[in-house]
Structure 1
Amino acid sequence: MEFEELEAQVESFRAERAGRQYPPGFQLFDSMTATDAELAAAEAALGTRLPSKYRRFMQAFGGGVFSFVELLPVRSPDSRDEDLLSVNLGAYAVPNFVAVAPVGTGDWWGFVSNDGVCSEQVSFVDHEDGAAQVQFGDFYEFVLTKGLRVAR
């Protein structure tokens, strides 16, 4: 899938929900976007190249709430919140894995990293054994399926 197709799916999702009433403070999207410089700094700190589709997504849509999935922002606007570096350089970091979205059970979705390059595929990592299982072909497929609940 190309970025333009993802963008069209997001716009369609937004249009379908335009005008709906939501509880106070509820947002469908947080949009904590990342700059080239922030992504480069994250890659340097993590010691790995992030997938191109993930980079493009974070520049256009960003982290935080993305409808039905929570995505780690590259840089948290509030130092008390988790972000890409605090999770992946923290005490519970999984070796050779870059976590980008919590599952909500202590498990993570993210990218396997080998030789300083992340896979384009999105994997699920179980917090108990650290085993990574490929779940999605790329980041766009992941956010469409988990975030927008578009059947693929």
Structure 2
Amino acid sequence: MNFSEFEQLLNAKKNLHPIWFELPSDSAATEEDITEAQNDLALRLPVEYRQFLLKHGGGYFALGIVYSLDRDSDFNLARINRQHPLIGKCHLLFSENGCGDFYGFRIEKNQCLAEVCFFDHETQAWQQTGYPELFSFLAEVALSI
């Protein structure tokens, strides 16, 4: 799913279910915020995640949570990844399900891959999800019942 398709879906969901968007979201990132975060984390974020951060910020997002670059947020990307160094050793955590499990992007040669992976806290293992990128993940996890 590309950014334009995601935005169309998002607008349709906002019209159908405005209550999903009542919780406050984190502030949108700037290009400078993204550059600073990438330097701080010593990696490159996936294109789709950068697009999302610039437009929507993160935090509470419909029926899900997306980590943001907002320094004052409980969902700050860098802070959460520093709190879980063993889980995120080869993955960048970008979301959670509220049950101790995480979603992340696998890191190869300081580049986050677009595909979404899932960390199961019970098995302490990462697994594939079938979501090729962030927008497909959000369409199914945050924008559907």
TM-score of the aligned structures, taking structure 2 as reference length: 0.87
Counterpart of 1:97 in structure 2 is 91
> What SS class does the counterpart of residue 114 from structure 2 fall into?
coil
Q: Is the 8 A contact 2:26 2:70 kept in 1?
A: no
Superposition CA RMSD, Å? 2.1
Query: What is the CA–CA distance in structure 1 between the aligned matches of 2:136 and 2:50, rounded to whole Å?
Result: 14
Counterpart of 2:77 in structure 1 is 84
Counterpart of 1:32 in structure 2 is 27
Q: What one-letter code is carried by the residue in structure 1 that aligns with 2:36?
A: A
Query: What is the CA–CA distance in structure 1 between the aligned matches of 2:49 and 2:10, rounded to whole Å?
Result: 15
Query: What is the CA–CA distance in structure 2 between the aligned matches of 1:44 and 1:107, rounded to whole Å?
Result: 26
> What SS class does the counterpart of residue 145 from structure 1 fall into?
helix
Query: What is the CA–CA distance in structure 2 between the aligned matches of 1:12 and 1:31, rounded to whole Å?
Result: 21
Q: What one-letter code is carried by the residue in structure 2 that aligns with 1:100?
A: F
Question: Which runs of at least 4 in structure 1 moved beyond 6 Å after TM superposition?
Answer: none
Query: What is the CA–CA distance in structure 2 between the aligned matches of 1:122 and 1:3, rounded to whole Å?
Result: 16
**Rg larger in 1 or in 2?**
1
Aligned pairs for 1:46-125 (under 5 A) are: 46-78=41-73, 81-90=74-83, 92-93=84-85, 94-125=88-119
Unaligned runs of 5+ in 1: none
TM-score of the aligned structures, taking structure 1 as reference length: 0.84
Q: Report % sequence identity.
A: 27
